[in-house]
Amino acid sequence: METFADIDRDKFPLVSEAVDILNEIAGKKVGDVDYGQLNRLKQNLNDYLSEPHASPESLQDAIKNFRSTLRFHHPKTKPLKPVMGKKQAVARSKVIDLFRKAFKDPIRLGKFKQRAQGIHKMWPRVTRLLKANDVETASHEIGHNLHTVLYGGDAKTAKDQQANVIKSLKPFLNELKPIAGYEPYTLEGFAEFT
């Protein structure tokens, strides 16, 4: 009688893998499923192999066909169900608060004359938004904060600071210009990129 122990592991890797899995989880209990039942399954498979019409090849094919339908999961960890609504999404105000903490720049509302959704004042490092909780605009203005911090250098005045940033970003003008919608292309392109 041929058993799992007699099967050539190199010739029938799926059968060997199935046996290894059965041996590994046999006798373990997880939730309501008694994996000791898998020992009986293993015995049934051994009995299948001992029948005259059965062969390791046919078992290999059966395992290959049904392998994708087998799913093992731990009952303690339930699969996540997609949830629509407030529980899944982070509030926009929390994202803005995260920006405030991470970049240590004040993000305030209104009180600017430019026709824009938001502005970033490089020298005083203040961001102003037209609308509260406008994450997209805040992200753009934080991009201006980043280029000021990264490329502003140790400038003594606001003009020097802006000149340092533009000079540092000038080698990337060809990449930044298509991204930017208006001048100064280097500054706006960098902010749009971030």
Whether residue 83 lies inside any domain: the answer is no
Q: What's the pLDDT tens digit per position in 102-116?
A: 888 888 888 888 888
Whether residue 78 lies inside any domain: the answer is no
% pLDDT > 90, the chain:
2
**Who has greater pLDDT, 124 or 44?**
124
Whether residue 145 lies inside any domain: the answer is yes
CB 130 within 8 A of CB 151: no
Number of domains in the chain: 2
Whether residue 19 lies inside any domain: the answer is yes
Let me know whether 97 and 182 are in one domain: yes
How much is the pLDDT for 52? 63
Let me know whether 104 and 179 are in one domain: yes
How much is the pLDDT for 13? 64
Let me know whether 105 and 151 are in one domain: yes
The upper half-sphere exposure of residue 97, i.e. CA atoms within 13 Å in the direction of its Cβ, equals: 5
How much is the pLDDT for 177? 86
Whether residue 86 lies inside any domain: the answer is no
Let me know whether 132 and 59 are in one domain: no
Whether residue 75 lies inside any domain: the answer is no
Q: What is the mean pLDDT of residues 108-132?
A: 87
Let me know whether 96 and 181 are in one domain: yes
How much is the pLDDT for 181? 81
Examine the pLDDT at 10 and tell me if it is beyond 60: yes
* Local confidence band at 119 (pLDDT 50, 70, 90 cut-offs): confident
How much is the pLDDT for 46? 65
Whether residue 112 lies inside any domain: the answer is yes
Whether residue 146 lies inside any domain: the answer is yes
Q: Which DSSP string do the residues of 79-142 spell out, in sequence order?
A: PPPP--STTTSPPHHHHHHHHHHHH---EEE----SSSSEEEETTTTEEEESSTT-HHHHHHHH
**Residue 127's beta-bridge partner residues?**
107, 120
Domain end position, chosen among 12, 35, 69 = 69
Let me know whether 134 and 182 are in one domain: yes
Let me know whether 124 and 169 are in one domain: yes
**Who has greater pLDDT, 164 or 83?**
164
**Who has greater pLDDT, 99 or 31?**
99
Let me know whether 101 and 188 are in one domain: yes
Examine the pLDDT at 21 and tell me if it is beyond 70: no
Over the chain, what is the mean pLDDT? 73
Let me know whether 136 and 49 are in one domain: no
Q: Which domain holds residue 49?
A: 4-69
Let me know whether 63 and 129 are in one domain: no
